[in-house]
């Protein structure tokens, strides 16, 4: 069983190496139980049972990398998460930061592990409430970083659904978000002060000179060694004073030398600065009588001091060195007064010239710790703490620098022994803290699962709404078609009525009425024409008048029609002709021809035929 577990562990490490080498994301510092659970979730999803098979699957299906990273990088966050902790931050920490700043000075805020941006925008809203919009835009920069580029895209957009804003204080939604289409966008004028970027806390350089750092529920995913590395970087990133805001499952019990609690329950801490006071000397400390007993006593005390110490004057010349320094570095009496850069001590065991220039320029101490020096002549390496301190006169001008070499070899050994002695106790504490963080991680995962279920439910709801919308659109289309059908029915009824009215008009005009167009094709064939000639309307309409096989003497009638179209005859004229009806009987007809016009001109001729016994003069 043990061999199988070791094999699984080795396969897991190979998988993590693959992720690091192919995608550049290092999960080696993450806690193994969390990694095992999250990777197993993806393995079950794709149907593989071993890490080796999953590695093969990743190589064949590169898109699986994205799903795996989404699973490993648990992006659970919200606006004003743990509201009471944010209240303490606003009421205690923010005023302290502002009071330590000169009026109008800039503020630098860092939200590490910002996920989809809610925490960064929460910081923005808190500072706007404290400073006002104009001063916020003039003074504040909020740097928000995360490892997940997909989450950062959401954060940069600053667009959130309705449920994401449920934890906002009353009135904040209307004040800080622009709403539309069921989604809410963080105000663009304030959004410009929030800068999003990718940053890996385990290896990338931290953002410097930060007044407030929020890194909530992020450290708990890392093992103890990686946590310590990250916290050293975060300590360096903070200004003096600088504040850290952690998640409720995270503590700094092993880092009390770097951070002190502001509110332990709310996980708010302040940076402990590491400084050495600038040594200043009064002019009256250097009596004019260099041979006085007090002066000789001071010189003797300095010379006999246990710490190797030397001084460089304002002209960068060696001004003095005590006995310990003379022995350590092999100074001779002739070395006093020489340019310091000509002496070996200026660059061995450590480059001192740049440190001296920095101490003079910044007028503050510069320290280097744990400098190892392998002295000539053999023997083990010796370890020193080097301190370069600017020396100022009572009136303020710089008169030189003091350089001290404090041997800490024995203390380093003692520290190692003490660390070894406390290792078991620390391990037990780490296990307890790890258990607490595991519980919190499990809670985060449960919350993440719940959010995924909520997302699925929202997707189903969205699909249902989409189907409902389509149903409404179909219903609307059906209503429009119904309206069109009703309109057509009305138009048809009107057309039938018009046709009936026209038929009655035609019936009233004479025995028969025929309308021909300018090409002598029949346009209208009245019921009287059907009765008179025995030809139905559908048989006559559209045909040339000469092509109709009826008893109408076309040769006599065509010239009348043509002369009417050419307007050689009056608009209305009459002619009497002999014809044969459908029964073969001879009849005499009076034919009245009228020109048919509309707005576009002459459209044809209307022929009205009536029985007559009287002769009609030929036209």
Please report the DSSP string for 23-40 in residue order: H----TTB-HHHHHHHHH
pLDDT at 33: 82
> 196-205, 485-494, 571-580, 610-619: which has the minimum mean pLDDT?
610-619
pLDDT at 288: 45
Q: Tens digit of pLDDT for each residue in 323-349?
A: 888 888 888 878 888 898 888 888 888
CB within 8 Å of 214: residues ≥ 6 apart? 109, 110, 111, 112, 119, 123, 244, 245
In angstroms, the CA 195 to CA 188 distance is: 12
Q: Tens digit of pLDDT for each residue in 548-564?
A: 878 878 777 888 888 88
pLDDT surpassing 90 at residue 478: no
pLDDT surpassing 80 at residue 74: no
pLDDT surpassing 70 at residue 30: yes
CA angle 154–157–159, rounded 5-degree value: 85
Radius of gyration of the chain (CA): 50
H helix intervals, 312-408: 323-329, 353-362
pLDDT at 238: 92
Please name the residue that has the structure tokens 């009390």. Answer: 256
Q: Are 468 and 460 in contact (CB under 8 A)?
A: no
Q: How far is CA 29 from the centre of its chain?
A: 27
Positions of E strands within 440-497: none
- What's the farthest any 2 CA atoms get from each other in the chain? 170
Summary mean pLDDT of the chain: 82
Query: Which own/partner pairs from 592-595 qualify as long-range (CB within 8 Å, at least 24 positions apart)?
Result: 592/510, 593/560, 593/561, 593/564, 593/569, 594/564, 595/564, 595/565, 595/567, 595/571
CA-nearest of 531, 512, 527 to 583 is 531
pLDDT surpassing 60 at residue 153: yes
pLDDT surpassing 50 at residue 619: no
pLDDT at 170: 92
Beta bridge partners of 403: 310, 388
Output the six-digit token pair for 320: 């003095």
pLDDT at 194: 94
| Mean pLDDT to the nearest integer, 33-59 | 87
| Model confidence band, residue 378 (pLDDT cutoffs 50, 70, 90) | low
pLDDT at 348: 83
Q: Are 222 and 146 in contact (CB under 8 A)?
A: no
Please state whether the peptide bond connecting residue 349 to the residue before it is cis, i.e. omega within 30 degrees of 0: yes
| Model confidence band, residue 304 (pLDDT cutoffs 50, 70, 90) | low
Percent of the chain with pLDDT over 90: 19
In angstroms, the CA 412 to CA 380 distance is: 14
State the burial class of residue 274 (Cβ atoms within 10 Å of its Cβ: 0-12, 13-18, 19+).
Answer: exposed
Residue 180, φ and ψ in degrees, nearest 5 = 180, 130
pLDDT at 285: 42
In angstroms, the CA 368 to CA 41 distance is: 48
In angstroms, the CA 304 to CA 300 distance is: 6
Highest mean pLDDT: which range of 169-183, 313-327, 480-494: 169-183
> 6-20, 289-303, 377-391: which has the minimum mean pLDDT?
289-303
Helix (H, G, I), strand (E, B) or coil at 244: strand
| Mean pLDDT to the nearest integer, 462-471 | 57
> 133-147, 252-266, 277-291: which has the minimum mean pLDDT?
277-291
Please provide the size of the chain in residues.
619
Beta strands 308-313; 318-321: pairing state: antiparallel
Helix (H, G, I), strand (E, B) or coil at 282: coil
- 20, 47, 56 from 224: Cα distances, Å: 20, 33, 31
Beta bridge partners of 590: 576, 610
Output the six-digit token pair for 206: 């931290």
pLDDT surpassing 90 at residue 392: no
Q: Are 73 and 444 in contact (CB under 8 A)?
A: no
Bigger pLDDT: 283 vs 455: 455
pLDDT at 281: 41
State the burial class of residue 270 (Cβ atoms within 10 Å of its Cβ: 0-12, 13-18, 19+).
Answer: middle
Bigger pLDDT: 257 vs 62: 62
pLDDT at 616: 43
pLDDT surpassing 80 at residue 248: no
- 121, 182, 187 from 125: Cα distances, Å: 6, 21, 10
For the question of whether the overall pTM of this predicted structure is more than 0.85, the answer is no
pLDDT at 93: 93
Q: Are 364 and 375 in contact (CB under 8 A)?
A: no
Highest mean pLDDT: which range of 106-120, 445-459, 495-509: 106-120
Q: CA neighbours within 13 Å on the CB side: how many for 189?
A: 11
| Sign (positive or negative) of CA dihedral 130, 135, 141, 146 | positive
pLDDT at 395: 67
| Model confidence band, residue 189 (pLDDT cutoffs 50, 70, 90) | very high
């Amino acid at each position: 069983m043990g061999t199988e577990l070791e094999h699984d562990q080795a396969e897991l490490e190979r998988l993590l190496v693959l992720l690091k080498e192919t995608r550049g994301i290092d999960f080696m510092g993450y806690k193994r139980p969390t990694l095992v659970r999250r990777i197993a979730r993806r393995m079950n999803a794709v149907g593989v049972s071993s890490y080796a098979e999953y590695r093969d699957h990743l190589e064949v299906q590169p898109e699986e990398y994205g799903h795996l990273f989404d699973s490993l990088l648990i992006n659970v966050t919200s606006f004003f998460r743990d509201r009471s902790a944010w209240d303490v931050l606003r009421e205690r920490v923010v005023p302290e930061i502002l009071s330590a700043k000169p009026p109008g000075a800039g503020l630098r805020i860092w939200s590490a592990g910002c996920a989809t941006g809610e925490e960064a925008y929460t910081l923005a809203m808190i500072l706007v409430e404290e400073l006002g919009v104009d001063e916020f835009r003039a003074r504040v920069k909020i740097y928000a970083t995360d490892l997940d580029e997909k989450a950062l895209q959401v954060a940069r957009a600053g667009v959130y659904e309705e449920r994401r804003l449920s934890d906002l204080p009353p009135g904040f939604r209307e004040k800080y978000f622009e709403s539309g289409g069921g989604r809410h966008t963080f105000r663009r004028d304030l959004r410009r002060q929030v800068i999003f970027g990718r940053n890996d806390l385990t290896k990338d350089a931290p953002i410097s000179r930060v007044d407030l750092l929020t890194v909530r529920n992020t450290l708990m995913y890392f093992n103890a060694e990686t946590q310590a590395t990250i916290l050293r970087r975060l300590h360096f990133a903070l200004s003096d004073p600088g504040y850290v805001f952690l998640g409720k499952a995270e503590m700094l019990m092993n880092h009390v030398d770097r951070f002190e609690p502001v509110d332990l329950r709310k996980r708010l801490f302040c940076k402990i600065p590491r400084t050495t006071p600038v040594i200043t000397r009064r002019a009256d400390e250097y009596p004019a009588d260099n041979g006085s007993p007090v002066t000789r006593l001071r010189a003797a005390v300095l010379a006999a001091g246990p710490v190797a110490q030397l001084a460089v004057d304002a002209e960068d010349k060696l001004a003095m060195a005590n006995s310990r320094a003379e022995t350590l570095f092999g100074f001779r009496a002739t070395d006093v007064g020489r340019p310091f850069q000509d002496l070996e001590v200026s660059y061995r065991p450590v480059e001192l010239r740049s440190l001296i220039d920095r101490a003079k320029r910044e007028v503050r101490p510069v320290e280097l710790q744990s400098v190892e020096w392998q002295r000539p002549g053999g023997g083990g390496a010796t370890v020193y703490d080097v301190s370069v301190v600017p020396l100022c006169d009572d009136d303020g001008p710089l008169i030189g620098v003091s350089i001290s070499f404090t041997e800490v070899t024995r203390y380093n050994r003692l520290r190692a022994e003490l660390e070894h002695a406390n290792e078991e106790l620390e391990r037990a504490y780490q296990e307890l803290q790890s258990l607490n963080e595991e519980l919190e991680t499990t809670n985060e995962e449960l919350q993440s699962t719940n959010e995924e279920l909520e997302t699925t439910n929202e997707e189903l709801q969205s699909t249902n709404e989409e189907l409902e919308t389509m149903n409404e659109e179909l219903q609307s289309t059906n209503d429009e078609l119904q309206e069109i059908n009703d309109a057509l029915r009305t138009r048809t009824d009107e057309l039938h009525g018009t046709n009936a009215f026209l038929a009655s008009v035609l019936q009233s005009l004479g025995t028969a009425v025929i309308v021909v167009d300018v090409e002598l094709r029949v346009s209208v064939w009245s019921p009287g024409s059907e009765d008179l000639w025995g030809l139905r309307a559908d048989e006559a309409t559209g045909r040339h008048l000469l092509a109709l096989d009826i008893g109408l003497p076309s040769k006599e009638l065509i010239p009348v029609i043509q002369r009417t179209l050419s307007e050689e005859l009056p608009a209305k004229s009459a002619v009497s002709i002999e014809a044969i009806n459908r029964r073969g009987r001879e009849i005499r007809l009076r034919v009245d021809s009228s020109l048919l016009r509309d707005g576009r001109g002459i459209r044809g001729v209307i022929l009205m035929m009536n029985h007559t016994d009287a002769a009609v003069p030929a036209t």
